[in-house]
Every structure is written in structure tokens, then in C-alpha cells.
Amino acid sequence: MLEGFLQIGIYLLLLIVVSPFFGAYMAHVFLGHRTWLDPVMRPVERVMYGLGGLQVQESMTGWQYTRAVLYSNLAMFILVFLIFMFQGVLPLNPTNLDAPTWDLALHTAISFVTNTNQQHYSGETTFSYASQALALGYLMFTSAATGIAVAIAFIRGLTGRPLGNFYADVTLSITRILLPISIVGAIVLVALGIPETWAGPAVATTLEGATQYIARGPVAHFEIIKELGENGGGFFGINSAHPFENPNGLTNMITCFILVCIPAALIFTYGIFANSKKLAWLLFWMVFIFFTVLTVATAIEEYQGNPLVNSVLGVTQAPNLEGKEVRFSWALTALWAIATTGTMCGAVNGMHDSLMPTGGFSTLFNLFLQIVWGGQGTGTAYLFVFVILTVFVTGLMVGRTPEFLGRKIEKREIALASVILLVHPIAILIPSAITMAFAGTVGVPDSDTLAGISNPGYHGISQVVYEYASAAANNGSGFEGLGDGTLWWNLTASFSLLAGRYVPIIALLLLADSMLRKQPVPETSGTLRTDTPLFTTVTAGVILILGVLTFFPVLALGPIAESFAIARAALGAA
């Protein structure tokens, strides 16, 4: 037990130490300060701008930035969809895989272009090396860079700066952050045992004389950007539980840590832009406390195990090892589950469907809030949207016009902030209700398999809601066991993917543009200070009230009810 919690403690300590330094580096990059990568990357960037004919020195308005995001993402989606549909005739296909069905290709292309990487397939048996490396790997860089670019544009607007140029921000995100770390990280992962090869599957003869085909491929470079970019899509079907993606404890710690780095550090990047490092530290500690509490609570229950199983074994306590890799055990699986759903990465090193109810509650809680630590770039922006709403609420309480970073918060800003927060429950609860309402309906073809629930009851509700929450939050993980590889799930999840990604992005950019155009208000003795522990505490309360209470009925019907049911059954067995 002590060893498991010691590993979690080391992880948390590293996060505290690394985040402010990495955040400062990203601030230097986007503020245009000189960095040590300039001599190497500036010539590369000039070539890229020249080939694209881009005037990157020109700043964009909110609508121009929005159109650049949408048009570029549409072009990337079309390119990747075509690669999928023609993979059967394209090279780098050593296992001669045919094209997937159109609905699976559609869902997968949408999923990866939105930085979600929700997978309704097993990579090694569905997509060729060309599709995995040239299509999905390409989107892992560009979708992550899109999220970072939007986040930087948002904080520029909040602090009164021009929004910048989308194409320049995306390029900087790739050349100064994602690509350098990925190159070094891929080399480290290869050294630690993760394969990087274009050769086909290895062929082995078993002890019984049978022939076994062992899937492999260019995994190492795919794995590092999977975590760093908060992508989460696995090269293999079982993701980071596969020994070729995550062979040992050191690779597990590195990849689990690196998926948190950018969203945690962006809080400090925002603080430097806003010239308020104190505010950044306060918000960091608030999110850190959320993250730590959820991690420890999940780890404790996984260590205690299922009382029903324990009673059968004749013991009072035994760790819940169902759905876990023994090389990671209960502690690192619990840590990874909270980290991957908190950051909207979605990679898994164990099956979330096998978590105890506290783990199911915690992972759903993260998907509902989206700020612990949040999506790639957008999660930090959502955090500041909650800050803006807190300023508005507290301003009304004291009878002053709400102000944030020297600019007034008025009707337009609150309307846009409300859109950002309201689209999330719409994209989750409505599809979930429809799916469960039609499951088993008489007269509806195949309705008994529509929901795909493999574990009826309270857990089945969590399975369905988790899938749509994962899509809307652009996370990608799932309560696996759900039969989601169907036309219904591919199309309805695609709706949640698109709504959860682009509606908030549009609202964020318009909100930033609106704040930019406001006349700065001088600070007075009556100005509400946002860099105080009291204000941070109120912000945490607003997050819990607005974020959690919206989804409390679902949590009550899912993991909370499941927890009571297990406790009642355990008492009955005793």
C-alpha cells in the first residue's frame, strides 16, 4: 500500500516542480521572446510560411481566427477520411487491410481532428501503417496544436492583446513545443523497449506448434505524441495496457506524467500573460487539490477492493485487480485513470469499466467539469470562463459592475460563457437519454442492442453516459464493454464530438474578441481582486455548483447508486 501511494506522491511532486517552468517557456514562445530553439526552428518556420503563402504577422479578428480554425480542420478531416477509404490500395499496409466502413471512417476522422481520439475499433486489425502514422499521427500534432492556439488567442484577448494569427500559433505550437519533445521522447521510449518499425507482424511458433502473428509497427513516435498532445488514441486496441505501448513502470510514469504537462503548465502561461503569477498559483493549487482528492479517493477504493469478491475469497481486504495490468497494479491504474480523464487525454492503462464506483464517479466527474486539468489548451480556457462567471456572480453580490483583468464583464460575455458551459450537457444528456429510451423498444429494429450495454443496471447507465461524455469532452476513453462499434454509436457520438469541440471554440474566440475591444478600466480600491484565496475558494464553489449539479442526477443513477448497491449486497452476504 505504501509503495503505491509513494508513487502517486512522487508524481504529484514532479507536477508541482515542472509546471511553472514549462508554463514560463510556453509564455516566452507565444510572447515572441527569444528561446533556445530559435536558431533551429526559425528557418523551418520561414519555409513553412513561404510554402503556405501565409502572412503570419497579420493579427486576426475573432471571426477570422474562427474561420481559420474551421477551414483548416475541415481540410484535415477530408484528407484523413480519404486516406482511410483508400487504405486498401495505399502503401505501408503489410497486413493488406481493407478500408473500414464509411461510418467508422467518419467517426474516427472526426474523433481525431477534434483531439478526442475516441476509438470504436482495434488499431492493429483495422488501420494500416499509413492510416495510423500518416493520418492519425498527423492529426495528433495538428489537433493538439489547434487547441493550444485557441487557448493562447483566448488569453491574449482577455489581457487586451490582439488575438494573433492562427497559422502562426499552430506552427509555433508544433515546432517549439510538440515536435521537439516528441523527438526526444520517442528516442527515450525506443530505448525503454517500445518498438518503432515499418516491418509487418512478427511470426512465431508456439510450444504447441501453432503459428502466432504478433502485431507491431511504428509505435514509439505514435505513443509520445499520443500522450503529449492529449490525444489518447492507441496504436493497439488495448491502448497503454499493451506491452508494446507501455512495457514497464518507467514508461508508465513517463507517459502518464507527460500527458499532464501542457494543461497544468498553461495555467502559469496564462498567469504570465495576465501579469499575475499569484492568480496562476492560486488556480493551480485549486485544480491540484481537485486532482489529488479524486486520485487518492479512487486509489483507496481500488486498494480496498470489491467487498463481494473479498467475501468470496474469505478476506477483509484485497485490491481490485480486475481489468488491470499487474505490472501497474491498483495504484498506477487509479492515478492514470484520473490523469487521463482530467486532462482529456483518454489513453488508458487499465479498463475503466472495471473500476470501483468511486473510480467511475471520479472519471465521470472529470469529464463533466473539463478543468482538472482540462483539454489541450481549451481546458485552461474553460477554467478562466469559470473565473469570469465567478467575477460576475460576486460582482452582483457586492453591487459593482463585474471586471476581470481590467475589463468589464457584461451581457455579451456572460451569454458566450453560458454557451460554452451549456453545450456540454446538451451534447451528453440528450443523446444518452435517446439511446437508453429506445433500447429494447418493441417494434424498433435491433433496439435490444442499440445501447450496447454489456452490464445492465446502474453500471449500464454509466457506460452509456460515459461514452457521450467522453466524446463531448474530447477525451476518448470509454467504459469498455460497451458495444459501440455500430452505425448508431458512430453517428451519434460524432454529433457529440463536433458539438463539444467547435461550439465552445467559437464562443471562446468571440468572447476573447469582445474583451479585447473593451476600454480598460483603471483599478480602484473597490475593484474585486481575483488573486486572493477567498476568491479562489468562491471559484471552486461556482465550479462545483454549475458543473457538478448539472450532472448530479446522472451520477446518482450511475456510480452513486452502484456504490450503495454493492454495499447493501455486501451487508447481506455478511
The label of the residue with cell 448508431 reads 488
Helix (H) or strand (E) holding 205: strand 202-205
**What pLDDT is attached to residue 118?**
93
Question: Model confidence at 157, in pLDDT bands (50, 70, 90)?
Answer: very high
Burial class from Cβ neighbours inside 10 Å (0-12, 13-18, 19+) for residue 497 reads buried
- Give the Cα separation of 60 and 560 in Å (integer): 47
The label of the residue with cell 502514422 reads 133
Average of pLDDT values for 528-551? 88
Higher pLDDT, 529 or 99: 99
Instruction: Specify which of 267-271, 311-315, 542-546 reaches the highest per-range mean pLDDT.
Output: 267-271
What is the grid cell recorded at 247?
512495457
- Give the Cα separation of 26 and 32 in Å (integer): 10
419 backbone dihedrals φ, ψ, rounded to 5°: -60, -45
Question: Model confidence at 533, in pLDDT bands (50, 70, 90)?
Answer: very high
Whether the predicted pLDDT of 439 surpasses 60: yes
- Give the Cα separation of 538 and 549 in Å (integer): 16
Q: What b/e sequence results for 333-369 when a residue is b if at least 16 CB atoms lie within 10 Å of its CB, and e otherwise?
A: bbbbbbbbbbbbbbbbbbbbbbbbbbbbbbbbbbbbb
Whether the predicted pLDDT of 447 surpasses 50: no
Closest CA to 392 of 371, 378, 413, 406: 413
Q: What b/e sequence results for 518-533 when a residue is b if at least 16 CB atoms lie within 10 Å of its CB, and e otherwise?
A: beeeeeeeeebebbee
Instruction: Specify which of 36-45, 109-118, 543-552 reaches the highest per-range mean pLDDT.
Output: 109-118
Structure confidence by residue, pLDDT tens digits, 278-318: 999 999 999 999 999 999 999 999 999 888 888 887 788 88
What is the grid cell recorded at 482?
460497451
Distance of CA 339 to the CA centre of its chain: 9
Higher pLDDT, 449 or 104: 104
Average of pLDDT values for 498-515? 95
Candidate from 134-143, 384-393, 451-460 with smallest mean pLDDT: 451-460
Given the DSSP bridges, would you call strands 202-205 and 211-214 parallel, antiparallel or unpaired? antiparallel
Average of pLDDT values for 460-484? 89
Distances (CA, A) of 524 to 166, 517, 528: 35, 21, 9
What is the grid cell recorded at 307?
467487498
For the chain, give the mean pLDDT.
90
What is the DSSP code string of 554-565? HHIIIIIHHHHH
- Give the Cα separation of 573 and 2 in Å (integer): 30
**What pLDDT is attached to residue 450?**
63
The label of the residue with cell 483531439 reads 115
Average of pLDDT values for 19-27? 96
Per DSSP, the three-state class of 434 is helix
Listed as own residue / partner, the contacts of 123-127 with beta carbons closer than 8 Å and 24 or more positions apart are: 123/233, 123/234, 123/235, 123/236, 123/237, 124/215, 124/217, 124/235, 124/236, 124/237, 125/97, 125/215, 125/237, 126/97, 126/100, 127/84, 127/87, 127/97, 127/100
- Give the Cα separation of 263 and 280 in Å (integer): 13
Instruction: Give the amino acid at 289.
Output: I
